[in-house]
Structures are given as C-alpha cells and as structure tokens.
Amino acid sequence: MKRLTILFVLFLSILSGCTTTKDYYQSFRGKSEHWSAELIQKGKVEYRDHEQIENHYEMTYEREHTLRLKYIGNEPDLGRTLEYSYDNGSAVREVLEGDPLDVNEVFTLAGSSEGTSHIPKDSDYRPLDNQDSTIEVKVKWNGKEEKIKLKYDRR
C-alpha cells in the first residue's frame, strides 16, 4: 500500500509539472477633462507542453473585461447618444424618447473571450496586458470627443 501511495504522488507531481495555470486580476484607471474610466480584467491562462509541436506551449485562456465610464464634467446633460470604445469592445447608449442621458449614470461595457493557441516556448508573448500598457478609451457625446488614457492601477 505504501508503494502505491508513493507511485500516486510521483504520478501527480509529473502531471502537475506539465501544466502551469496563472489566475490574474488587473485594473487600469484614467481621467480626462470630462470622464473617468476604469477597466478591470480578470481570468486564467493555462500553459502546457504542446503534444504535436516541439518547443511550443499550448495556451488556453479565459478573460473577462469590464469598462466603467463616469461623467465628471459639469454640463447639465449628455445629449441623447453616447459612444465609447477601446481595443476589446465598443458600445452605443442612445435615448430615443424622454430625457437625455443621465449625467450621474455609470456606463458599463463588459465582455469575455476564451480560446486556445500555441506559442513558442522562447517567445515573450504576454496574453494579458501588463503594468507597462496604456489603454486608450474614446468617448463621443453631444458633438464632442475625448480620449482617456488608462494606466495600470497598483491598488
């Protein structure tokens, strides 16, 4: 029985050496004259030796991203249409009847992605944005346009 336990532990340690999983959570923040924004990215990346391609990893990833946009200007209303976008998505918020968009609303754009790929083991590929990344958000409202630069938030 003791040999069986040792073999089982050895087998598990060999299997765990073939796969590396990294969970992550990242926040990026920024402000412009009229807007503040926060982008949150969270997910999981898993690497394992590729079974068919030598010196490559098979990479599986899952990522959720949420952009929150808040008006910080002092105009009384935002008009009837708000457009905002960044590399991972875009949205249009439009009021067809009634009052214009509420200046106190927090506008949210959320999405997710997942997939599998293969990369060379010696590559410097990073499947997620790192601390040196700057993410640009474009906002259009009331005939105006602004860009917000989001930088990594260490909090």
pLDDT at 133: 82
Say whether pTM exceeds 0.85. no
pLDDT at 4: 43
**How would residue 36 be classed by pLDDT, with cut points 50, 70 and 90?**
very high
**How would residue 3 be classed by pLDDT, with cut points 50, 70 and 90?**
low
pLDDT at 74: 93
Please state, rounded to an integer, the average pLDDT across all residues of the chain.
83
| Average of per-residue pLDDT across 103-112 | 93
**How would residue 2 be classed by pLDDT, with cut points 50, 70 and 90?**
low
* Predicted confidence (pLDDT) per residue in 50-74, tens digit: 888 888 888 888 989 999 999 999 9
For the cut 60, the answer to whether the pLDDT of residue 8 exceeds it is no
In this structure, which long-range contacts are made by residues 97-104, counting pairs with CB atoms below 8 Å and at least 24 apart in sequence?
Answer: 101/77, 101/141, 102/78, 103/71, 103/73, 103/75, 103/76, 103/77, 103/78, 104/71
CA separation (Å) from 30 to 10, 36, 110, 153?
Answer: 49, 6, 18, 9
Q: What is the dihedral of CA 135, 137, 138, 144, to 10 degrees?
A: -120
**How would residue 18 be classed by pLDDT, with cut points 50, 70 and 90?**
low
pLDDT at 11: 41
Residue from 152, 144, 104, 107 nearest 128 by CA: 152
Contacts of 139 (CB under 8 A, 6+ apart): 32, 34, 35, 69, 82, 83, 84, 145, 146, 147, 148
